[in-house]
Amino acid sequence: MNKFTIGVEEEYMVIDPVSRELTSHDQKIVEAAQSKYGDQVKAEMHQAVVEVGTKICNNTEQARKEITDLRLYVSKLAEDLGLKIGAAGTHPFSHWDKQLITDHPRYSEIINEFQEAARSNLIFGLHVHIGFQSRDLAIQIANQVRYFLPHVFAMSTNSPFWEGRNTGYKSFRTKVFDKFPRTGIPDIFNSIEDYDNYVKLLIKTNCMDSAKKIWWDLRIHPIYDTIEFRICDCPTLIDETMTFVALFQALCAKLYKLRLQNMNYINYSRALINENKWRAARYGIDGKLIDFGKEKEVECKSLLLELLDFVDDVVDDLGSRKDIEYVHTILKNGTGADRQLELFNKTQSLETVVDFITSSTLTGLN
């Protein structure tokens, strides 16, 4: 029986509390954190980013404790250096061209290949790994779960501002990342062999040197036996992070349960799912998504309630009901993007929005 283990990765902004700008921490946070957490805390391409990752967790309760401890520890290290961390999909006004690049051969190679697309890729995401007993099973579930990516993504939207502008999107992070190759919703693969042959062809033809350079919204991880969900903006609140983690785990468990009953969810095309992804990025939970089964537009919030009903029969076995039910709080209070926009409309101050992000990043941590 598949156990649906969990791994969670978050990318944080490093912020100067005076200017509220992104700033380099000269890898001091990473170096100090690694003495306790090892490679669970890593540098990223830009020096204003710190990435943290849990170990393999058996349930959402364990994952919550680990990601909470990591947030608290990294925040304390930043504070000791006179800095702050913030969790959101983009910084409201810092410009990427002022940020330093981490001195590392891999990042130099990426910059050399992708040029300004890479240098400007100053964004912050949430990555969720769900474990599978075989890669063949994982690819079959991945095909089906793609349909639900825009639904969860809509709730995670948390990047309405870019370089000091209100972009009109609830998630502009995805628009920034679209400049890279091999991003977005993946295609359907008939088998793991089909996927592996795709990877081999791209490596053979020098499109990439490894499967690590596949950056889709969902991918079969090149090292671990997991489906990695990569579509979400980094949530400001830990409760939001755990809700999205719980939803991805529950969706995998539900689709697996249907598979055991000889039932499969429909595999929709990338082109159709992309329509919903665009709507989610633009409007968050306030817009409409397309119900492709009914072939009509439906309020996003209604589809999210249907999603809760869809996974309801697996959440108690997973022990994640409390995290799943936080969806109702998001539907009531809005997404991270909604809160940023509401504050900006009141204050007309992006500095105040940054202060809100840094303070809220620590909300609910104990």
Q: Residue 132: give its domain's CATH number.
A: 3.30.590.20
CA–CA distance, 245 with 342 (Å, rounded to integer): 26
Whether residue 365 lies inside any domain: the answer is: no
- Domain of residue 232: give its range: 6-360
> Among positive and negative, which fits the CA dihedral 295, 298, 303, 306?
negative
pLDDT band at 1 (very low <50, low <70, confident <90, very high): low
Whether residue 366 lies inside any domain: the answer is: no
pLDDT band at 102 (very low <50, low <70, confident <90, very high): confident
Whether residue 1 lies inside any domain: the answer is: no
Which of 185, 212, 217 is closest to 199 using CA atoms?
Answer: 212
Token look-up 């391409």 returns: 45
pTM: 0.97
Whether residue 65 lies inside any domain: the answer is: yes
Quick one: how far is CA 261 from the chain centroid?
A: 31
pLDDT given at position 192: 94
The count of structural domains within the chain is 1
Whether residue 69 lies inside any domain: the answer is: yes
Whether residue 163 lies inside any domain: the answer is: yes
Whether residue 290 lies inside any domain: the answer is: yes
Whether residue 354 lies inside any domain: the answer is: yes
Amino acid, single-letter form, for residue 64: R
pLDDT digits (tens, 9 = 90+) for 134-146: 999 999 999 999 9
pLDDT digits (tens, 9 = 90+) for 76-93: 999 999 999 999 999 999
